[in-house]
Amino acid sequence: MTTRRGRPPKDSDTGLSRDRILREALALVDEEGLDAVSMRKLARRLGVDPMSLYNHVDGKEALLDGIAEVLLAAIPATTPGPDLRTTMSALAHGFRGAVLGHPRAAPLVLTRRLASLTALEPVEAVLGPLLAAGYPPERAVHGLRAVLAFLIGTLMREVSAAPTFSHGSRERLEELEASGLPAVAAAAPYLAVCDHETEFEFGLRILLDALAP
């Protein structure tokens, strides 16, 4: 909220800026999905020539990276809790919350190799307590990566961009039962349904049991 060098409020209406572009782009993704994003459509929404965007953003790929970074920046800062387990759990939930806040944009975070160092604070917040608890740094990093891999995989599923054997349709259940595969048939009622919340907690618990007992 620092005043902006006396420029008139025009700035936030017609004045373009990387920030305004990224915010509008995220809104576009939220409303119409990732596939609907195009430089031209985004420019139309901003009331601007498509080429004007290139003054603030390095092309479409960079635009998508920018959106991903906006999401990452929304991970709430986490102060170390009473023990390792609760801080790690809080961070995992914070990451999940930030990503699920914009489900249609989520694949950008989960899928792109981000070059920048956004999201380094959350890493510090995990690594700090682990090191303080006496974990050797190498093992701490392995642990961090295992949890992160799990988070990325579950979130991809939650956001419905990854394979499940579900979405609870009646037919799905019948297909599974008729598959001719005995174990699949026996577990069909559970395969046909997927409660993301409990799947998330289940996997996270297992990992934290192993890492922060």
Which pair of structure tokens corresponds to residue 151?
Answer: 């988070």
User: Rounded to the nearest whole angstrom, what is the least distance from the CB of residue 70 to DNA in the complex?
Assistant: 18
Which residues are near DNA by CB under 7 A?
15-16, 37-41, 48-52, 54-56, 59-61
Binding string to its own copies for residues 163 to 192, with x set by CB under 8 A, is what?
xxx---------x---x-xxxx-xx-xxx-
Q: For residue 155, with 0-12 CB atoms within 10 Å meaning exposed, 13-18 middle and 19 or more buried, which class applies?
A: buried
C-alpha–C-alpha distance, residues 82 and 90, integer Å:
11
Angle between helices 60-73 and 84-100 (to 10 degrees): 140
Which pair of structure tokens corresponds to residue 161?
Answer: 């961009």
Q: Which of 125, 135, 57 is nearest to 94 (CA)?
A: 125
Binding partner at 189 among DNA, its own copies, none, C-beta below 5 to 8 Å by kind: its own copies
User: Rounded to the nearest whole angstrom, what is the least distance from the CB of residue 59 to DNA in the complex?
Assistant: 3
C-alpha–C-alpha distance, residues 193 and 77, integer Å:
34
User: Rounded to the nearest whole angstrom, what is the least distance from the CB of residue 50 to its own copies in the complex?
Assistant: 20
Which residues of the chain form contacts with its own copies (CB under 8 A)?
A: 107, 109-114, 117, 119-121, 123-124, 127-128, 130-131, 137-138, 140-142, 145-146, 148-154, 156-157, 160-165, 175, 179, 181-184, 186-187, 189-191, 194, 198-199, 202-203, 206-207, 209-211
